[in-house]
Amino acid sequence: MQLLRCRTRCSDSTKFTVITIARTTATMGDNSAADPRLIEAQLDFRTFIDVLRDDGDLADIERKVDPHLELGAIVRRVSETNNKAPLFHNVKGTTKDGLWRAFGNAASLSGHGPDKYGRVARTFGLPRNATWKEICARTQLAKSQSPLPPNILATGPCKENKILGADNIDLHSLTVPKLHQEDGGKYIQTYGVHMLQTPDKSWTNWSIFRGMVHDRNHIVAQVNPRQHNYVVKEKWAALGETRVPWVLAFGIPPAATLAAAMPIPEGVSEGEYVGALVGRPLDVVKAELSDILVPANSEIVFEGYMSLEDKAIEGPFGDYLGYGFEDDKRMQPLFCVEAITYRNNPIFPVSVPGKITDESHTTSALAAPEILTFLKAKGYPIKDANAPLETMATWCALQVDGPALWARKTTPAEFCREIGELLYSQKCSMLVNRFILIGDDVDVYDWQELMWAFVTRCRPGRDEYHFDDKPALPLTPYQSHGGGDPTKGGKSLSDCLFKMEYEGPPNFLKTDFETSYPPGVKNKVVDTWSAMGFN
């Protein structure tokens, strides 16, 4: 899986709040909100890269890099070391037309300090030291008013160069990288955004799903049930059509890329949602071959159609949970490339999924705030939610509001069954395999705290609830290769609440430095810490 290739959602609401980024960041006391470049960085890929450079979070690589495995190896090692985002200025085999420079790790982590979420924060116009909680809250701020329609321009930078006609397209001539040695081919699509429009043009879906070069002018890409691209495909098929107009845009506005991976309700066009998210309309232009509107400052745009008749083998591919299985080959639709437009000296974005942490994990984790919003709207006593990156976002911790839970006068079994049945029936939980209920004394964003609660409060068997009839994601390795039905089950909820926490105030306290000592003692220890020889 590449990013939230399986689109997720809970709420059917199509209303979003239009909030300017100045208001958003001002709530965190950050003066950078007034910087127009930080607003622009959400809406322009190159400005985003420039901001990363100013942040000291970009590696400009001038030496020649081979797209066959070397480029992928660099991007993968960056993910595994939380290093600077690489911008490759000299990719071996670049055509005379300048196709293309390459950029990796747009939404992976940066370092291990307070700025480690900096790239995701900058994508949403936030300070580089924004916490994950602040980032999650930012994604939900645009959900109470109507989406903001885009601003349609006559032309834009993405039209600076054009290659028209399927006979003039040769994908083999482009510097398409081989990302992992176990991959079944060259994956040209790992961080671009597919755009498909319903026949009545009422909905244009943007989504991210992987695509492999098949021949000189075809890409084979995954289109699976429960994804929004599949919903659009079925609408065309119902009319007896055999081709679906299609666009694949690379290097679009960073906020739009993450919107394409976020849990946006079915029927809401991401191009309009981005306007609400940023507080400014997205500049778009009409595609060359269809009525699909494309971000005007896209780096590279492929146009053509998705065939509803022709298929080819896709895979295998080293995926986001850290495995590449030799037998992961499936027949998937062919996408015909009939036109390519691009900016001068374009930049091609690349994601190389694998073990934590890369774009697949950070964007998957953004399902948690959608789950939280959904549960709160339903009146459940949940204060916060987080999908820890340490679990590759396959677990989601739910922090319970103690007094609100007591007021329900429920039992552990009743509450856990009710929550599990509800959530595992929602698409926003499709990537989640385990929910963890925790008390409000546990920091939902602290992995060590979560594990402490899990190993001390959840009794194996008795406090675990399984949901074997719920839809599952076959990309989870134990679903596809561990036995059992790969399409359902493998879902659980672990109750990390003591029985007393359902009935009233608990009679226990943590035994740690913060809780076990009075302020005077703690202050004395802290004030004399260095003098005693401690770091």
CB contact at 8 A, 52 and 104 = no
Q: What is the C-alpha to C-alpha distance for residues 58 and 40, in angstroms, rounded to an integer?
A: 18
Query: Does 447 carry a binding-site annotation?
Result: no
Q: For residue 152, what are the β-bridge partners?
A: 284
- DSSP letter assigned to residue 57: -
Q: What is the C-alpha to C-alpha distance for residues 389 and 360, in angstroms, rounded to an integer?
A: 10
Question: In 505-533, which positions are buried (b, 16+ CB within 10 angstroms) versus exposed (e)?
Answer: eeeeeeeeeeeeeeeeeeeeeeeeeeeee
The angle subtended at Cα 386 by Cα 381 and Cα 392, nearest 5°, is 145
Query: Does 224 carry a binding-site annotation?
Result: no
CB contact at 8 A, 44 and 295 = no
Query: Does 361 carry a binding-site annotation?
Result: no
Question: Closest Cα partner for 257 from 363, 185, 160?
Answer: 363
Strands 161-164 and 330-342: antiparallel
Query: Does 210 carry a binding-site annotation?
Result: yes
Structure tokens at 481: 């290769």
CB contact at 8 A, 229 and 261 = no
CB contact at 8 A, 64 and 74 = no
Query: Does 449 carry a binding-site annotation?
Result: no
Query: Does 427 carry a binding-site annotation?
Result: yes
Name residues whose C-beta falls within 8 Å of residue 455's C-beta, 6 or more positions apart in sequence: none
Query: Does 535 carry a binding-site annotation?
Result: no
CB contact at 8 A, 416 and 382 = no
Tokens 């949403």 belong to 124
Query: Does 194 carry a binding-site annotation?
Result: no
Tokens 């994804």 belong to 227
Question: Closest Cα partner for 326 from 338, 337, 313?
Answer: 313
Numbered residues of the known binding site for Mn(2+): 205, 228, 270
Numbered residues of the known binding site: 205-210, 227-228, 270, 427
Numbered residues of the known binding site for prenylated FMN: 205-210, 227-228, 270, 427
